[in-house]
Amino acid sequence: MFKRLQTPSEQGSSNFQKIITINAYQNVYYQFVNNALQKLDKLSYDKRNFVVSTLDAKDFISALIEISVNIPPEDLQDAIELKAYDDLGLDQAVEYVIRYVEAVEKRTDKLRYFHVFVAEPEVLHETFDPIREKVKYIDYIYPKPYLIQNIYEKDILEAYGTHGFLYFQKEDAFLALFKDGEYLYSKSLKYSFENIYERFCELYGERVDEESFYDMLQNEGLKTSNFDYQDQLMKLFSEIFLYVNDILIYAKRAFDIEKIDMFYCGSETGPILGLNEYAHTYLGIESNDFDFDYEMEKGEWYVDQFHYLSILEAIKDIEGEESPNFTLFFRPPPFVARRSGQFIITTAATVVLALSLPVYNYTYDAYVKITNDKLTKEEKQLNKLVTGIRREIGSLEAKKKDILAKIKSEKDLFEKKKKILAAIYDKKVNYPMKAKNIVHFGNDMTKFSVKVTKITDEDNTFTLSLYSDSDKKITQFIKYLTDSYENKIHTDIDKIYKDEKTGIYHGDLKVTVL
């Protein structure tokens, strides 16, 4: 499919001996050397290592912004950052880490388009500081979904049509779209493995062993032999793919996509059996496993796809290409570029000069005087320029203040009208509906010999203080509500406890109307 990959040292293009790829969220590490991917038990510092990692989709914002083609190259980064703050409504008090890559295929005569990736520095430090303590620096931190483009660049997939990629991880999940091999859109999803487990327990009505649940997904997928689990898995993944379908509908409209030609589903622990059938059923798109052959040797049956993709991207960066890079943990510059190095070099040069012929002192004094005069003239010109710029900034600040005052006035008026309409709607619609819901719940409680001592209401959530002579009746009542009002209500109960004096079971059930 493509030729054997080489480490940087084999290529002779750099002093790097290995590429280290790190999953900072799960503390999983691999090294790439001699075309082999080898798992590491621990990390250690070696300046000959090229160290890379990835940032999960939940930890950054991705958006497409437009910039005038008239912006000069030296002002491009400032223009993109200002546009990102405005378009994405970023907090002006926070200095975000903003990276970008141009969507060249969308460029017009008047506008340039850029995919912008935005992360908070606090999140980067919280995630990667423990790694930096072990390896001292991280050369690149890639936005994870962006790396999928390497699949097309290595001709693993044909760069034609629109493709969707769905990937599940323990703490995150994301959906990414690529059109003709180019990054188009990505979004973090609420259904990570951890959230899938919690939702499954909620549907099942009791907690199951977490590790056993993950083992079941990895080994049996959605076609488990445990019939008690089968119905709940079907409900859960139907819910997941309906959610994914809503996002695809938005993306098609936002990016003018006629259709999605192919879909790929996978996870950091391997393909999930039965997932492609759900994708095809609920999305109407042919689906395959997100599990490709990158022609790298490995010692395990499955390795998270993004270790491979990070290596492919790292090789490009070593060769001189540039990727969106979230790292704040750069390796120290060469000796001659450091201040200490410059100081030592300057000191050595001074000693040599001091021992040179006296005529050098005279020549150097003349040179310094000429340079000083030149800098003095430049300083005067710069002072004039700075004064003019400050004056212009002051004028713009005054205009900005006036505009902000008008915006605040309009916003206050809008909020006032919004509150009035909400109050009218609440009285006309919500009050009758809430009463109707309470009647239905009362009828349902009678079926299971469950009674209520108190009902409280806050927004769309009722809190029913239940009691019965059996905790099983309360549990059956809750399961009945979940099954009968599926997709209409959400139920939650912290605990069911027994009054030792009376032998009566109590529990506060929260019912949220969706």
Mean pLDDT value across residues 262-287: 95
Per-residue pLDDT reduced to its tens digit, 176-208: 999 999 999 999 999 999 999 999 999 999 999
**Judging by beta carbons within 10 Å of its beta carbon (0-12, 13-18, 19+), is residue 29 exposed, middle or buried?**
buried
SS3 262: strand
Per-residue pLDDT reduced to its tens digit, 202-232: 999 999 999 999 999 999 999 888 888 999 9
DSSP annotation of 185: E
Whose CA is closest to 245, among 322, 329, 189, 291?
189
Could you tell me what percent of the chain has a pLDDT over 90?
58
Q: Which residues pair with 505 in a beta bridge?
A: 468, 498
**pLDDT greater at residue 50 or residue 466:** 50
Cα distance between residue 514 and residue 488, in whole Å: 5
Structural element, H or E, at residue 30: strand 28-33
Binned at pLDDT 50, 70 and 90, residue 132 comes out as: very high
Give the number of C-alpha atoms closer than 13 A to the C-alpha of residue 340, restricted to the C-beta side: 4
* Token pair of 176 as six digits: 């990414």
Q: What are phi and psi of 421, to 5 degrees?
A: -65, -40
For the ranges 38-52, 350-364, 377-391, 473-487, the maximum mean pLDDT occurs at 38-52
pLDDT-wise least confident of 130-144, 229-243, 327-341: 327-341
pLDDT value of position 340: 47
**pLDDT greater at residue 417 or residue 200:** 200
Whose CA is closest to 60, among 105, 148, 127?
127
Binned at pLDDT 50, 70 and 90, residue 429 comes out as: low
Per-residue pLDDT reduced to its tens digit, 303-329: 999 999 999 999 999 999 999 999 999
Contacts of 466 (CB under 8 A, 6+ apart): 445, 450, 451, 452, 453, 474, 477, 506, 507, 508, 509
Structural element, H or E, at residue 483: helix 471-484
Binned at pLDDT 50, 70 and 90, residue 503 comes out as: confident
* Token pair of 334 as six digits: 């060469």
Q: Measured at the alpha carbon of residue 78, what is the angle toward residues 73 and 81, in degrees to the nearest 5?
A: 125
Q: How many CB atoms lie within 10 A of CB 212?
A: 9
